[in-house]
Amino acid sequence: MTAASDLRFHPSGDGELAYRDTGSGDLVVLLHSGFVDHRLFDAQTTALAARHRVVAPDTRGHGFSANASGPFRWADDLAGLLRALDAGPAVLVGLSMGGGIAVDTVLEHPDLVRGLVVASAATSEFTYTDPWVRGIRQAQDRALAGGDVEGWLREFLRYVPGPRRGFDDVAPDVLRRVREMALHTLSKHTPGEPDPHVRLTDTWERVPKIGVPLLTVNGALDTPDLLAGAERLARAVPYGRGTVLDGTAHYAPLERPDAFTAVVEDFLRGL
């Protein structure tokens, strides 16, 4: 995994936001899933940087980035970073929560986006209404309050194999890496803290107006609800399409890094 020494820091209006910035060329931004950080995309960052400038941020409240002290939106954080870097428009590649952030960003800051790869996700509204996400957040509150952190981790890590496999079906290193990142993010938070993130509530009504190419990428072993949500998103966007990767569930960039990278590179070549 990359080390903290590889990171740069953007002085936002509410604490520093960490990001990795490497390579040169057209900009690709990699947006990680919830509870982890930019290291989720280590393999893709290295591969894509051979032909592109790659920025991989830690979302506020995750990894090495500051927590929020007041109301904020992740899409605005990303827009502020890209404008400070004088970079873009970018292709946004987001996994799970990061996919929702990518969609939010093109809706709120369309001038900064020229393409979207939305992996293991639909819109941000879908992400926050998913029953698994609600359960994980409730378990996190219990863990922070002095409960069973290992129990929370087991529940969180259950999304790695997906509903049709067990932990023994996943490479131990994948589970180790997700666990390491999740524990790091958990350590940044305290029991009962407020959630100042301001969510978009009209995403499904607005996605038909997205005017850039969009690709959904999903693991065939992910949850049926998530697969259906991604299919709905691909149909709703004028230039949308979808693809499915066999042999993986929610964390294709870790389980099938070469296949995931190849899908992203093929999308980039088509722009």
pTM to 2 decimal places: 0.95
Which pLDDT does position 117 carry in this prediction? 98
Which of 73-77, 143-147, 209-213 has the weakest average pLDDT? 143-147
Using DSSP's 3-state secondary structure scheme, residue 69 falls into coil
Would you list the domain boundaries of the chain? 4-269
Q: What is the mean pLDDT of the chain?
A: 92
More confident residue, 104 or 1: 104
Task: Let me know: does 139 contact 156? Beta carbons within 8 Å.
Answer: yes
Which pLDDT does position 151 carry in this prediction? 81
Chain centre distance of CA 105: 13
Cβ-defined contacts of 45-49 (< 8 Å, 24+)? 45/2, 45/20, 47/261, 47/265, 48/23, 48/261, 48/264, 48/265, 48/268, 49/22, 49/23
Average pLDDT over residues 125-141: 69
Which tokens sit at 207?
């996605």
Average pLDDT over residues 175-187: 94
pLDDT category of residue 187 using cuts at 50, 70 and 90: confident
4-269: CATH architecture:
3-Layer(aba) Sandwich (3.40)
